[in-house]
Amino acid sequence: MRLSRLADYGTVVMGYMAGDPAAVHTATGISAAIGIAPPTVSKLLKILSRRGLLVSLRGSRGGYRLSRRPGRITVAEVVEAVEGTIALTECSGVMCRCSMEPGCTVQREWRQINRRLRGVLDGVTVADLARKRTRKGPSGRTPGAVAAKPDATVAVDHRS
Amino acid sequence: MRLSRLADYGTVVMGYMAGDPAAVHTATGISAAIGIAPPTVSKLLKILSRRGLLVSLRGSRGGYRLSRRPGRITVAEVVEAVEGTIALTECSGVMCRCSMEPGCTVQREWRQINRRLRGVLDGVTVADLARKRTRKGPSGRTPGAVAAKPDATVAVDHRS
DNA sequence: TAATACAGTACCAATTTAGTCCTGTATTGC
DNA sequence: GCAATACAGGACTAAATTGGTACTGTATTA
């Protein structure tokens, strides 16, 4: 259930750009700032601009800029731009390849879960990704309980 | 962000078994019922029993049985049993391999999202997976708004 | 006109994962 | 006791995905 690494990077890039929302950022500049290989960042930026999340400016002094205010671009949009879909299961659309009996109850629940997941991802904007915990951010929403807990308690097994 | 197919199958198997919670199910029987290849079902059942979600009974007349009431086994547990972790990002634990500045704000938000995702998955039990929409199920909770909408409106792009 | 920077596509390599098979062990029933 | 059933565990193979790179083309600025 991991995000593709590219989608993960996508949020990092957008978070970085949201730190200076009006500026025009070049691929090489972003690459140097966040420590991801230039061709990879470039690939990502192309995708994000093709999907309308970024505006690209060609030529000398060109680069990329957020197409909207960072508080108006959600993580769901970023993930969807890179991955194409927000869904944990394949049986989330109308047709399902699995040969279960009609009215598969498992599928019904998964659709509900996928819908809720989208809600979660829609609840976080790229402005949130950029906002430092102590300083007050530029956009309206407040992180609330998010900033409270340093979260040193979680211990996750990363293997498979 | 797709679940591994094995984890997806896991919910199907558990949902099927939850339809007859007290019964002892054999791997071949389950395989025939849900249309997944026997070795694959077998592999899955071994994993689920090793993780304590199922009880295995060896020998003739053996098989597998749910270790708890279906209303007490959540989808989160099933997914975690098969996949090992419930998290969309790698940077969800205490340590993170990415060389971002300390106090990476992106990571902070992802941790929050992952926590909420777990909440969503914890909100659905295998009893829900088995419950038919018209008949009243055996366990307490009601599907509520879930059953209302046949959901023929979603059109998801399955590629990539 | 030269330099900069994006656009698009194609390609290679590595990782992951699905799926199968084989050997071993426990339990039941004859 | 013996045969049949069914799970336990691990190894292995093949395929799909995806990460990352490179190359050619085009637009814009100085």
User: Measured in angstroms, what separates residue A18's CA from nucleotide C2's C1'?
Assistant: 33
Cβ neighbours of residue A135 closer than 8 Å, sequence gap 6 or more: none
Nearest chain B Cα distance for residue A61, angstroms: 27
B89-108 residues touching A, CB cutoff 8 A: 89-94, 98-100, 103, 105-106, 108
> Residue B82's domain is classified under what CATH number?
1.10.10.10
pLDDT at A132: 75
Return the amino acid letter for B34. Answer: I
What is the rounded distance in angstroms from the CA atom of residue A90 to the CA atom of residue B5?
Answer: 9
Q: Does the residue B154 lie in any domain?
A: no
What is the rounded distance in angstroms from the CA atom of residue B158 to the CA atom of residue A87?
Answer: 9
CB-based burial of residue A46 (10 Å sphere; 0-12 exposed, 13-18 middle, 19+ buried)?
Answer: middle
What is the rounded distance in angstroms from the CA atom of residue B138 to the CA atom of residue B131?
Answer: 8
Give the phi and the psi of residue A125 in degrees, each rounded to 5: -105, 170
Tell me the CB-side half-sphere exposure of residue A129, using CA atoms within 13 A. Answer: 32
Closest amino acid to nucleotide C8 (CA–C1'): A46
Determine the distance from the C-alpha atom of residue B76 to the mean position of all C-alpha atoms in its chain, rounded to a whole number. Answer: 6
Q: DSSP state, A73?
A: -
Which nucleotides of strand C lie under 7 Å from a protein CB?
2-10, 17-21, 25-29
Of B3, B35, B160, the CB nearest to A88: B3
Q: DSSP state, A74?
A: B
Say which range, A19-23, A153-157, B1-5, B50-54, has the weakest mean pLDDT.
Answer: A153-157
Provide, as residue numbers in chain A, all residues whose Cβ is less than 8 Å from the Cβ of B8: 89-91
Number of domains in chain B: 1
Report yes or no: B48 and B10 within 8 Å, Cβ to Cβ.
yes
Q: Does the residue A50 lie in any domain?
A: yes
Q: Please indicate if any CB of chain B lies within 8 Å of the CB of A151.
A: yes
Place of tokens 């199910």: B25
Q: Does the residue B156 lie in any domain?
A: no
Q: What is the pLDDT of residues A19-41, one digit of tens each?
A: 999 999 999 999 999 999 999 99
Q: Give me the percent of chain B exceeding a pLDDT of 90.
A: 69
Q: What is the pLDDT of residues B25-49, one digit of tens each?
A: 999 999 999 999 999 999 999 999 9
Q: Look at A2 and B7 and tell me if their CB atoms are within 8 Å.
A: no
Q: Does the residue B108 lie in any domain?
A: yes
- What residues does A64 pair with on adjacent strands? A25, A56
Average confidence (pLDDT) per 10 residues, chain A, 160 residues: 94 95 97 93 97 97 97 97 93 55 78 95 96 50 31 27
- Number of other CB atoms surrounding residue A78 within 10 Å: 25
Q: What is the pLDDT of residues B82-113, one digit of tens each?
A: 999 999 998 655 555 555 555 678 988 999 99
Provide, as residue numbers in chain B, all residues whose Cβ is less than 8 Å from the Cβ of A152: 94
Q: Does the residue A116 lie in any domain?
A: no
Provide, as residue numbers in chain A, all residues whose Cβ is less than 8 Å from the Cβ of B32: none
Over residues B61-66, the mean pLDDT reads 97
Listing DSSP states for B71-119 in one string gives GG-BHHHHHHHHHS---SSSTTSS---S-PPSS-HHHHHHHHHHHHHHH
Quick check: helix, strand or coil at residue A57?
A: strand
pLDDT at A126: 96
A69-73 long-range Cβ contacts below 8 angstroms, 24+ apart:
A69/A21, A69/A127, A69/A139, A70/A14, A70/A17, A70/A18, A70/A21, A70/A125, A70/A126, A70/A127, A70/A130, A70/A139, A71/A125, A71/A127, A71/A138, A71/A139, A71/A140, A71/A141, A72/A125, A73/A14, A73/A18, A73/A125, A73/A126, A73/A127
Of A4, A100, A113, the CB nearest to B120: A113
ipTM: 0.84
pLDDT at A64: 98
Q: Does the residue A136 lie in any domain?
A: yes
Q: Does the residue A79 lie in any domain?
A: yes
Q: Does the residue A109 lie in any domain?
A: no
Q: Give protein residues whose Cβ lies within 7 A of nucleic acid chain C.
A: A 2, 25-28, 42-43, 45-46, 49-50, 56-64, 160; B 4-7, 9, 37-40, 42-43, 57-62
Place of tokens 């599907």: B143
Residue numbers of the domain that contains B109: 5-147
